[in-house]
Amino acid sequence: MKLSDVLETTKKEPHCGMCKVDFLGTGVCPAGKKHGFVAYWPEGRMELARALAENEVEPTKTLIDIVNSCNLCGICDRQCYFITQRRPTQAQQALKDYVKTLKPNTFKPIPDDEIVKDLRSIVGNDWATNDPIIIASYLRSIIRQKSSGNFYIVMPKSTEEIVAIVQLANKHKIPFLPRGNGTFFGVALQTLLAEPCSIEQGIIIDLWRMKEIHVDPESFTAIVGPGVTSFELQKAAHAHKLRANVAEAESHVCANAQNLGIITTWSNTYGWGTDNFIDAEFIDSTGTIMHLSDKDIPNPYASEQGLLSLSLIPSVIVTQLTLKLHQILDDEEAIFIPFTNLSDALDMAHNLAKRNIGISLAVISRKYLTEFISPTHEIAEDFNYIAEKYLKLNYIVDVICDKYHKKIIEELAEVTFGQSMLKSLILGSSKLASMKESSLLKMIAEEENPLKAVFGGPMRKHFEKGLAASPHELVKVFDEDLRDFFEKLYSKPELTDPVWLHSFRILPCRMERKHMWMYRGGYMPGDKETILKVVDALEKPAEKYHIEGDFGFLSYLERGKLAHLEYDYYYDHTDPDARKRVNKAIVESWRRQFAIKGVTPLEFICSKGLHRKEHILYPFPEGLSEEDLVHFEELIETLFGGEDTW
């Protein structure tokens, strides 16, 4: 197999980093676990295969080691196929075949320079490198593609080692940038945000090795190092019947708290920003260790608003967080309230938020529901079509609550469905997709209220029965050699348990299986009028620039006083024209959002200090005036050049 044979796959690799998380119980890539550098993980091997195919890097001897460290065990195929339908072993096989074609003198020698020697003296010989082959695996997920800078990768094990690395970088006057799992970089670096997000030369501090995790069940807290993923923390918390408010499974907890404040559907009860943690240890740009609990640190509340307050790079490196954990109740269950239009869904969700109903509460889109629970993108598309055309199902108020709140919701809502129906939809999704032209669906569509008919009326039983939901049926859509594995997997209760799925968040990366996405949205007052204006402000640029745009999820904060919206642009990041269009849509969406009073786009919440809470949203920003908009255009041009350069 040639590298060019797998180029389409490797180019589209989204750097989600899920291959570093044991989310299916298969274990993770043994070579990645042993060597740590991204190049030894499936994600990095794919990037390496792409960079070699596109002549962006020359082989070094390390390539032989990377290739030989993989025994094609297939763990990555199971993991990656579950999320993105990709088979990383194909890229690995192509790398193996490629190396066989090279003559021994092809491999470029890489001399150690003084900086890499100094880095090794800090972290040990195995954990620092200036080898271009390893560096190439970090392309598109912290280093810009085709960057010509001089880079080092270092993997510290302790806070003290990071201090020494920062001091070394300062001594040599070179930049440094920490990397968690690279998910945010993987998304942002495909857009015009690449420059402010990335490092153009210097030291990349890969935090993967710092996996300290300690749960204290007495105080309901957990102490985590910066290499701990959301999934790993949640697993440790669940062992004590506790839950953390965490982002997507693969995201590093410390990095997410630092960058985005950990905003989730659980934020309805658990909050966001500083609500999530009690103390933090961090290192400033001079290499000084500080704690949030220290008396003399710079004001941790300090933050700035406005267009010039944008900063996508953290000003400190968080090396430890003490997080709050929350009790899991015995009677928690999921309840879903389907809606045809957004306005009604917002009314219902806001009503619940005001009354503090729902531990987890969000309005999610049809797109999220169908993409997350369908085993393939094609099935998701068919499911999406059916939901829209026949079921008139466009939005869902998605709640995890106790039995008392469930009763209240059932009283308030005209129609609901629960765990049993969701399980049928997950396991029956392939069957549902095959029913696109069925008479049953046509009958449902003719009902006065199809949602009520299918989820609350007499047709419910027929519908569920028609789905013939079972793991055996579902896995028929998978590659044949993976079916046994996935049948066993889908037989596990947690894979169809919405409470577990909301806690562990292993499904959101499925958004990336067809195309790259770009997170839009931000924070705003919780009134419906503002929210609908923001949705429109995000929808319009997508339409104008022919980008697929869709509502993602909306959560309320502070009992409905504030709202956080995620709206997504989907595009093919390997297509230069699509990238240009998405960049134009991003800029226009900023312009439109800034014109609405009270709205702070997501990027302007990033890296705004650790002790961040709603105070950074006040006073509600005034919408930009016409004059401000002219300056906005100028700022964009100064930062990113003209449209032609995007």
Partner 1 sequence: MVKYLSEEWAAQAKKKVLDELDQTKDLKNMNASLLNVVQNVPPDQKTVYFYIRFVDGKLEELLASPDESIKQKNAEFTITGDYTTFVQISSGQMSSAMALLKNRVKMTGNKIKAFTITKPIDTFNMCIKKIETEY
Q: How far is the CB of 166 from partner 1 (least distance, A)?
A: 13
Q: How far is the CB of 174 from partner 1 (least distance, A)?
A: 8
Establish whether the linkage from the previous residue to 619 is cis, with ω within 30° of 0: yes
Site size for partner 1 (CB under 8 A)? 24
Q: What three-state secondary structure class fits 435?
A: coil
Q: Which residues, 100 to 139, sit near partner 1 by CB under 8 A?
A: none
Q: How far is the CB of 288 from partner 1 (least distance, A)?
A: 16
Q: Which residues, in sequence order, are bridge partners of residue 205?
A: 154, 178
Q: How far is the CB of 123 from partner 1 (least distance, A)?
A: 24
Q: How far is the CB of 312 from partner 1 (least distance, A)?
A: 7
Q: Please list, in sequence order, all residues whose beta carbon lies within 8 angstroms of the beta carbon of residue 194, skipping any fewer than 6 positions away.
A: 144, 188
**Which listed range, 126-134, 161-169, 574-582, 636-644, lies at the site for partner 1 (CB under 8 A)?**
636-644
Q: How far is the CB of 315 from partner 1 (least distance, A)?
A: 5
* CB nearer partner 1, residue 494 or residue 637: 637
Q: How far is the CB of 260 from partner 1 (least distance, A)?
A: 17
Task: Give yes or no for a contact between 52 and 533, defined as CB atoms under 8 angstroms apart.
Answer: no
* CB nearer partner 1, residue 285 or residue 356: 285
* CB nearer partner 1, residue 311 or residue 351: 311
**Which listed range, 80-88, 253-261, 582-590, 627-635, lies at the site for partner 1 (CB under 8 A)?**
627-635
- Closest to 225 (Cα-Cα) out of 286, 154, 281, 163: 281
Among 331, 637, 643, 645, binds partner 1 (CB under 8 A): 637
* CB nearer partner 1, residue 196 or residue 623: 196
d(CA 13, CA 50): 9
Task: Give yes or no for a contact between 139 and 47, defined as CB atoms under 8 angstroms apart.
Answer: yes
d(CA 233, CA 223): 9
Q: How far is the CB of 304 from partner 1 (least distance, A)?
A: 6
Tokens of 498: 């919405």
Q: Which residues, 16 to 75, sit near partner 1 by CB under 8 A?
A: none
d(CA 550, CA 493): 30
Count other Cβ atoms within 10 Å, centred on residue 60: 19
Question: Is residue 294 near partner 1 by the rule CB under 8 A?
Answer: no
* CB nearer partner 1, residue 284 or residue 614: 284
**Which listed range, 306-314, 473-481, 512-520, 612-620, lies at the site for partner 1 (CB under 8 A)?**
306-314
- Type and span of the H or E element at 570: strand 562-571
Q: How far is the CB of 597 from partner 1 (least distance, A)?
A: 16
SS3 track for 93-142: HHHHHHHHCCCHHHCECCCCCHHHHHHHHHHCHHHEECCHHHHHCCECCC
Q: How far is the CB of 642 from partner 1 (least distance, A)?
A: 12
Sequence length of the chain is 646
CA atoms within 13 A on the CB side of 140: 23
Largest CA distance in the chain: 75
* CB nearer partner 1, residue 299 or residue 308: 308
Binding mask 266-285 for partner 1 (x = CB under 8 A): -------------------x
Angle between helices 88-100 and 61-68 (to 10 degrees): 130
Question: Is residue 635 near partner 1 by the rule CB under 8 A?
Answer: yes
Q: How far is the CB of 141 from partner 1 (least distance, A)?
A: 17
Task: Give yes or no for a contact between 308 and 376, defined as CB atoms under 8 angstroms apart.
Answer: no
Question: Is residue 466 near partner 1 by the rule CB under 8 A?
Answer: no
Among 145, 167, 309, 449, binds partner 1 (CB under 8 A): 309
Among 64, 110, 290, 312, binds partner 1 (CB under 8 A): 312
- Closest to 229 (Cα-Cα) out of 492, 37, 505: 505
**Which listed range, 273-281, 513-521, 612-620, 634-642, lies at the site for partner 1 (CB under 8 A)?**
634-642
Q: What is the tally of helices (H) and strands (E) in the chain?
A: 29, 19
Q: Which residues, 330 to 349, sit near partner 1 by CB under 8 A?
A: none
* CB nearer partner 1, residue 26 or residue 167: 167
Residue 568 burial class via C-beta count within 10 angstroms: exposed 0-12, middle 13-18, buried 19 and up: buried
Q: How far is the CB of 196 from partner 1 (least distance, A)?
A: 4
CA dihedral 94, 95, 96, 97 (to 10 degrees): 50
Q: How far is the CB of 144 from partner 1 (least distance, A)?
A: 13
Among 101, 105, 296, 308, binds partner 1 (CB under 8 A): 308
Among 71, 458, 638, 642, binds partner 1 (CB under 8 A): 638
Q: Which residues, 171 to 210, sit near partner 1 by CB under 8 A?
A: 173, 175, 195-196
* CB nearer partner 1, residue 627 or residue 644: 627
Q: How far is the CB of 413 from partner 1 (least distance, A)?
A: 45
Q: What three-state secondary structure class fits 281?
A: strand
Q: Please list, in sequence order, all residues whose beta carbon lies within 8 angstroms of the beta carbon of residue 412, skipping any fewer than 6 positions away.
A: 348, 351, 352
**Which listed range, 229-237, 305-313, 337-345, 400-408, lies at the site for partner 1 (CB under 8 A)?**
305-313
**Which listed range, 309-317, 388-396, 470-478, 609-617, lies at the site for partner 1 (CB under 8 A)?**
309-317
Count other Cβ atoms within 10 Å, centred on residue 367: 22
* CB nearer partner 1, residue 309 or residue 470: 309
**Which listed range, 5-13, 123-131, 301-309, 565-573, lies at the site for partner 1 (CB under 8 A)?**
301-309
Q: What three-state secondary structure class fits 48?
A: helix
> What DSSP designation does 616 have?
G
> What DSSP designation does 622 have?
P
- Closest to 440 (Cα-Cα) out of 418, 415, 460: 460
**240 backbone dihedrals φ, ψ, rounded to 5°:** -110, 20
Question: Is residue 643 near partner 1 by the rule CB under 8 A?
Answer: no
Question: Is residue 290 near partner 1 by the rule CB under 8 A?
Answer: no
Q: How far is the CB of 529 from partner 1 (least distance, A)?
A: 26
| Binding-site ranges for partner 1 (CB under 8 A) | 173, 175, 195-196, 285, 304, 306-315, 628, 631-632, 634-635, 637-639
